[in-house]
Amino acid sequence: MKIIVGLGNPGACYQWTRHNIGFQVVDRLAQENHFPICHKRFKAHCGKGRIGSQDVLLVKPLTYMNRSGLAVSQAVHFYKVDSQNRPQDLIVIHDDLDLPFGTFRIKRWGGDGGHQGIRSITESLGDNRFLRLKVGIGRPPRGRDPAEYVLDPFDGTERDALNGILLQAAECVAAILSEGVDAAMNRYQKRVILPSQSP
């Protein structure tokens, strides 16, 4: 079982905010692979299905961002996922302020980079060896508080590009599962999706 976690905050008021792009990617994965995220388990909304030849569990924690580790650790322990020896068996998708909007970065392990959701998962698992797909949301304008910026909805130009970004992110996760991390990195790393490229 591969566990794929999208990070975000529960509730309609957060649905289309920048901080929730992890949720949005996981929703797109479920849509593209024709299985729902309809069960409430592990303090999360979950969906089981297949992506390519892999059995996967999609997870959207309901614990709010800074307590994401509570949900992730429950799922990891239940399915006995060994992320320490096989980091690619746990994939966490999250927003990243330091990447330009519409770019991706795949990271095998490492620090949390100031991201509260990643910090919570690392603390709950007692280990930072899990795969991350970072989705760039860009830096806020000068003088804008980053903590407020990430909780704002995407602006008009960003919304025009968002469909293409979510599709490419879902395809990137599928490539990780079917072809491996290096192949996905070569194809998707820091790729920019412009509004005109949106399907």
pLDDT digits (tens, 9 = 90+) for 92-131: 999 999 999 989 999 987 777 778 899 999 999 988 889 9
Which range of residues forms the domain containing residue 180? 2-197
**Strand 131-136 relative to strand 90-96, pairing:** parallel
d(CA 10, CA 15): 7
Residues 6+ apart with CB under 8 A from 102: 136, 161, 165, 192, 193, 194
Interior/surface letters 159-198, b for 16+ CB within 10 angstroms, e for the rest: eebbebbbbbbbbbbbbbbeeebeebbeebeeeebebeeb
CATH, residue 32 = 3.40.50.1470
Residues 6+ apart with CB under 8 A from 122: 69, 112, 128
Are the beta carbons of 123 and 161 closer than 8 angstroms? no
Tell me if residue 34 is catalytic: no
**Chain centre to alpha carbon of residue 152:** 18
User: What pTM did the predictor assign?
Assistant: 0.91
CA angle 80, 56, 164 (to 5 degrees): 140
Marked catalytic residue, from 19, 45, 94, 115 = 19
Please give the average per-residue pLDDT across 131-153, as a whole number.
Answer: 90
Could you give the number of structural domains in the chain? 1
Cα maximum dimension of the chain: 47
Are the beta carbons of 75 and 59 closer than 8 angstroms? yes
Residue 190 binned pLDDT confidence (cut-offs 50, 70, 90): low
pLDDT digits (tens, 9 = 90+) for 21-51: 999 999 999 999 999 999 999 999 999 999 9
- Name the average pLDDT for the chain: 89
Give the per-residue pLDDT at 112. 73
Of 97 and 197, more confident: 97
